Structure 1
Amino acid sequence: MRIAFVFWLVSFHFSFAQRSDFNGISFKKADSVAEVYKGEGLRNLPVLTYNLTAPLDTDVEKFRAIYTWISSNIENDYSSYLKISNKRKRLVNDRQAFLDWNNSMTPQVFDRLLTERKTACTGYAYLVKEMANLAGFKCEIIDGYGRTPTLILKEDSAPNHSWNRIEINNTWYVCDATWSAGQTILEDGNPKFESDYFDGYFFAEPELFAKNHFSINKEEIRLKDTESFTGFIEGPVIYKEAFLAPIIPLSPEKMKVYIKKGDVVTFKLDAPNNINDNNFQLLINTGGRQKTIQPNILRNLNKISLLYRFEKTGLHDVHILIDDDLIATYVVKVKNARY
């Protein structure tokens, strides 16, 4: 049996910008430079950082080469992930103790990085910070929570992820090298990492990033004053494919939706104008039976609404699709109108 766990550890804030700021810049050269140094060791980080950045002209390309190299050359270590996760659970009620322990882990994390090029999210975030700093950038680690389709968070869940913010041209951007690196497959209980670089978490759209990343860094500024951890864990499940467009689920704000039979639910998204509306579909699973339907669609500039009337009672898992890729999941509970 193969079960895929993508360890997307999460959270951020501040007033962040997004990748579209660099639409006029091609990253082909930066990615090519990263490929040239594929397999290089980490014993001399200043030299590796110089080799990755010296051939490039712009700051964003320099950081891109660093990020791509890390996400393509470092293996996600499942055993370290479990060890760190268990420790975080034990310190969940003592934030300062957790932060102190997290900082004390740096030498151990770095030692394994050097010798085996393996790490968990903490190591990815640490390496991004160190190499970015060596290249002259302001870069910081963000600790917090990450939500994935296979990871359910509760109010008392311990922080489970780390990522970075980086300043380019006096503007802050967020990125998650761990989630860009690939996934760990559990095959008959044995973990195996599969490297598969994913570009969506490089300078991700901030509002979308906040859907599955939640920071515990007090000094960071929320996108909305009303944001809370409860709201974060109650939101819809977001899949990585949403980050490519990007497509941002706007409403319903909660994953679980309660309605009466015959009611219409409107799934509202922020989606680029160049996406064909007819590419959106709803995959609805009811009691193990599923069907794909074409909802009624309304668009106003980059805001798109998918409307569907629920005529049967029961529990419905509603998956939003675009070109057969999962974007988000909701759970709609339909009761008889008389109740």
Structure 2
Amino acid sequence: MPQKKIALIFLLLNSIFINFAFSQKISEVDKIVAKYPKSFDSTEKLADKIEKDFDSDYDRARAIYSWIAFNIRYDYNAYLNPPRVQGFNYSSEAEKQRKIKQLNDNLIQKAFKSKKAVCEGFTALYQHLAELVNLKCEIIRGDSKTNLRDIGRKATSSNHAWNVVLIDKKWRLVDVTWGQGYYDISKGRMVNDFNPVYFDTNPEYFFAKHYPDSGTFLGDRISKSDFLDGPLIYNKTIENDYKIKTPNLGIIEAKNGDKITVEIKNVSKSSQVFYLNRKNQPVKVLNPKEKRGSLEFQILIDKNIGDYITIFIDTESIVSFKIV
């Protein structure tokens, strides 16, 4: 099939499936919260509403996630032009803690009332609301992996924040900042796109995209090299449990004529699987084989392969590798 025709089909499929996909990811809790007012007089009144409508800790934690994701937008301008760090003087530890609390309260109220925040505001508001409904919640700071250039980075940096919330004696991972939407490079703006995959995320997927500053998570050591050198995965990978079995590294050393074997869990031959070449043209994989609940196929390394390979399943990006 000609490349132009494949590209046209790709765009048509993308527009057809977008509404269907949205309807599939809304839970009953989300449907109730979607009918809430966009504004409340106070965080306490919002918390009271959530406590009255939901009985379980899990549903209350999800309701907080949903309301914030539905109503608070990522402030990309503030991200590009961060305000100056606000310092203060203190004469005692008690005064220091009081002033820190005041700064945090100001951050929470600013996010709640302006409906805009960066990750610090999202996480502070989530923690505040969680504590108002008697949930133990903490803020974790660390690195994030979001674009192709992050594959094979040499060092981590503290550029993001997320939450952990204790539900039924188990700590759950929450990143409501990523749940509310994403930045569309082609449009040059934030896109509102509620996504629940970052509520109670499977740690295996979560830590492929997050690395805490301490390098640990609740006592479990997390490998920095696994994070830095791992492939870049996407939201649909998490949503559909598309585990990348091979290659297990994000950096692939190959020469012209080599074939890379890729194996992805929970994909069948009926799925449309392709990758993009150097010209961003879709190339359908040839002769895929079903193998132990996975799909296995090969990609030929030639002059048409660029510096990165991104694999798509049914119009959705799933995983990217860096080719060296």
Name the TM-score, length of structure 2 as normaliser.
0.76
Instruction: List aligned pairs for 1:1-339, cutoff 5 A.
Output: 28-41=27-40, 43-84=41-82, 106-149=104-147, 152=150, 154-156=153-155, 158-185=157-184, 192-217=189-214, 220-221=217-218, 227-228=223-224, 230-271=225-266, 275-279=267-271, 281-286=273-278, 290-301=282-293, 304-310=294-300, 312=302, 315-316=305-306, 317-333=308-324
Give CA deviations for 1:292-335 in whole Å, capped at 9, x if unaligned.
Answer: 2235224214xx242215263574432222212110112335xx
Letter of the aligned partner of 2:317 in structure 1? L
Q: Give the Cα separation in 1 of the matches to 2:156 and 2:321.
A: 21
Q: Counterparts of 1:314 and 1:283 in 2: how far apart (Å)?
A: 11
Q: How far does residue 185 in structure 1 lie from its aligned partner after superposition?
A: 4.4
Please say if residues 229 and 250 of structure 2, whose CA atoms lie closer than 8 Å, have aligned partners that are also in contact: yes
Cα–Cα, structure 1 residues 261 and 61, in superposed 2: closer, same or farther, change >3 Å? same
| Contact 1:281–1:294 under 8 Å retained in 2 | no
- Which ranges of structure 1 fall in alignment gaps of 5 or more residues? 1-25, 88-101, 334-339
- Cα deviation for residue 149 of structure 1 reads 2.4
Where do 5+ consecutive residues of structure 2 fail to align? 1-24, 86-99
Q: CA deviation at 1:269?
A: 2.8
Give the Å deviation of 1:57: 2.8
* Cα deviation 1:243-291 (Å, max 9, x = unaligned): 21121223323222112444432223333xxx53331513141355552
Flag the 1:69–1:319 CA change in 2: closer, same or farther, 3 A. Answer: same
Q: SS in structure 1 opposite 2:317?
A: strand
The range that moved more, 151-160 or 48-57, is 151-160
Q: What secondary structure is seen at the aligned counterpart in 1 of 2:244?
A: strand
Measure the CA separation in 1 of the matches of 2:287 and 2:131.
Answer: 48
Quote how far apart the aligned CAs of 1:183 are. Answer: 2.4
- Call closer, same or farther: CA 1:307–1:72 in 2, change over 3 Å: same
* Matches of 1:45 and 1:146, distance apart in 2: 29
1:16 is matched with: none
Q: Aligned in 2, Cα 1:150/1:79: closer, same or farther, shift over 3 Å?
A: farther
Q: Is the partner of 2:253 in helix, strand or coil?
A: strand
Cα gap change, 1:288 to 1:82, in 2 (>3 Å): closer
- Letter in structure 1 aligned against 2:154: E
CA contact (8 A) 1:283 1:293 kept: yes
1:85 to 1:150, Cα distance in 2 relative to 1, 3 A: farther
**2:174 counterpart letter in structure 1:** C
Aligned partner letter, 1:269: I
Q: Take 1:292 and 1:221, find their aligned partners in 2: how far apart are those partners?
A: 42
**Which residue identity lines up with residue 73 of structure 1 in the other structure?**
N
Q: Which amino acid aligns with 1:197?
A: F
Identify the residue that residue 91 of structure 2 maps to in structure 1: none
- CA shift at 1:132, angstroms? 1.0
TM-score (norm 1): 0.73
- C-alpha change, 1:223 and 1:253, in structure 2 (3 Å) is farther
Superposed CA RMSD in Å reads: 3.2
Q: Aligned partners of 1:310 and 1:172: how far apart in 2?
A: 43
Residues 107/60 of structure 1: CA separation in 2 closer, same or farther (3 Å cut): closer
Q: Which structure: greater strand fraction?
A: 1
Distance 1:152 1:103 in 2: 34
Calculate percent identity across the aligned residue pairs: 22
Distance 2:176 2:81 in 1: 20
Q: Do 2:72 and 2:112's aligned partners in 1 also have CA atoms closer than 8 Å?
A: no
What is the deviation of 1:145? 1.0
Tell me by how many angstroms 1:174 deviates.
0.8
Bigger relative contact order (CA 8 A; separation at least 6): 1
Aligned residue pairs, count = 285
